């Protein structure tokens, strides 16, 4: 996912029919050995999703809800947003939307 003139766009390397989407274009990341580099790909988007899932796992626990994977998945899917996505992004490329952390 990268920034376009009308909002976030889905990268051409992305999978079709994802459940959610996450930033994966021009992501600054640690480089082996030392420093950082900018990369794009699903390998850059996965850590964003993993981080959001971890935050939801903690939120579910604090809220006293059943601490099960399906509870967390429901929260992740239910909180995803399309507000920042470009209007021309197809649903088959974005799933329910951009992952969002609990507030």
pLDDT tens digits, 26-45: 999 999 999 999 999 999 99
Residue 59 lies in a domain: yes
Residue 68: inside a domain: yes
Please indicate, yes or no, if residue 100 is contained in any of the structural domains.
Answer: no
Q: What does the block give as tokens for 82?
A: 């399309």
Q: Label residue 15 by pLDDT band (50, 70, 90).
A: confident
Q: For residue 58, give its domain range.
A: 2-94
Q: What is the pLDDT of residue 22?
A: 95
Strands (E), 7-90: 7-9, 27-30, 36-39
Distance from chain centroid for Cα 21:
4
Q: In the numeric block, which tokens belong to residue 15?
A: 């999978």
The number of folded domains in the chain is: 1
CA dihedral for 53, 58, 59, 60, sign (positive or negative):
positive
Quote the pTM value: 0.85
Instruction: Work out the burial of residue 75: count CB atoms within 10 Å of its CB; fewer than 13 is exposed, 13-18 middle, 19 or more buried.
Output: buried
The confidence score (pLDDT) of residue 3 equals 61
């Amino acid at each position: 996912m990268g920034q376009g003139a009308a909002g976030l766009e889905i990268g051409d390397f992305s999978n079709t029919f994802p459940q959610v989407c996450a930033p994966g274009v021009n992501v600054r990341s640690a480089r082996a050995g030392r420093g950082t580099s900018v990369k794009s790909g699903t390998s850059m988007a996965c850590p964003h999703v993993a981080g959001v899932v971890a935050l939801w796992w903690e939120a579910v626990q604090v809220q006293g809800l059943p601490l099960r994977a399906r509870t967390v998945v429901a929260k992740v899917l239910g909180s995803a947003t399309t507000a920042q996505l470009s209007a021309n992004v197809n649903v088959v490329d974005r799933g329910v939307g951009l992952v969002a952390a609990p507030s």
